[in-house]
Chain A
Amino acid sequence: MSDTISVTVKVWRQNGPDSPGGFETHPQQISIDASFLEMLDLLNEQLNDRGEEPIVFESDCREGICGTCGVMINGRAHGPQKATATCQLHMREFADGDEIVIEPFRAAGFPVIRDLAVDRSPLDHIIESGGYISVGSGAAPDANLTPVPKDAAEQAFDAAACIGCGACVAACPNSAAQLFTSAKVGHMALLPQGQPERWSRTEAMVDVMETYFGSCTNHGECHEACPKEISLDFIAYLNRDYVRAKVKNRALSGQR
């Protein structure tokens, strides 16, 4: 038999980017085996039954890989459990009688679309500025044509684990997107395949980042908030690569 807890859900409601918004409170009885988003689903069904507007929140994969579901739970991005996206959080992390405050990720670069859903497209713009291959490049190369040192491959893989959820921005007192950008820059800068455009890519992505987000002061909150535990080391690599990119003679970069 599963246990049930009673919690008070205090949730942010906002009709659109320019509406003022405010909190709404709903008591909830919920099984501790329910996921956090299932709790919101059930709450929405109750709201529907009463003819009220359901709470808008985003989710897609519900297995911690798509990065859409992030919300602020009791002041912590993705809630109290470390290295866990909101969709993977379960109600057993809460105690009977808890008040659960749910808010959208906040930053000037993340305008609220409605309720808990925010527009994180600035993160996409950072990615776009990194460029992509749009030319026919022939058949796929042989798998082992380009040797990759194992350590570099592992490090790059750690960076590539970023799901683009924006929790780092939301948790950052400066609303900086350094952790996200450094993960995206890092996973390519570490691999041989990423070298040809390493310097121009770093420059372009940082430049776009800085048109939307704040300036990193090395608090380290992002790493704590990150569901994928992206390391602060990537921020250091990014900061170094950016200034190196500025001073680099591009014609010689192939020869390091």
Chain B
Amino acid sequence: MPDLFEWLCRMGDNTLVLGHRVSEWCGHAPVLEEDIALANTALDLIGQTQMWLGLAAEVQGEGRSADDLAFRRDAWDFRNCLLVELPNRDFGHTLMRQFLFDSWHKLMLTGLCESQDDRIAAIAMKSLKEVSYHQERSADTVIGLGDGTAESHDRMQAALDRLWPYMGELFQPDAVDDRMTRQGIAPDLAALRSGFDAIIADTIQEATLVLTDSRFAHRGGRDGSRHTEHLGHMLAVMQVLPRSYPDARW
């Protein structure tokens, strides 16, 4: 795959897969305000997906659309990080996953606003407003639940422990990322780490949670070499109509 296409799929698949996961909550959230907020987050992420995958399809130049990329690729062609494909589990896991991803996403988009590629900078600028709001909200919720009752604290700690090993993948550049950075298209992922750690440390402390020292990182999502078992199930649901009725227009 050409670098730019591959890289755009990484951005668009992150938002697609996370948007899908968040949308699974619709109608089932702990409180009405959360139903509305989660739908809003999912909606923003799906909108961002349309922009990223729309541009990916355009640079690929094979006459495909964002929908073709979303609904007609198999799991091994997906380029999202493993973190976003993990199942929702309880509300604590969902919000912790959101907070961790939002915190990375915000830094990434901030860097992308300076991209040499104007189309990418434009998408980043538009997305950054939404994502800053997501990050503020998910951080507040992590703090509220971490520093809530004994039960909510324990659930948030369990979520953090479970999800933390999936964070490292987002800071480990590969050859594609390196070339994007050299061309001034995308920031250096490794360089985002210190800013991220500072944000996380503050919020986690306020939430009275404890971060493990381990930097072990699962990987295999961003290059598609080894996704989790969960992605295939998600795609089976998400892609069922376009796959079952390939000639239909919806």
A complexed with B? no
**Chain A interface residues toward B at CB < 8 A:** none
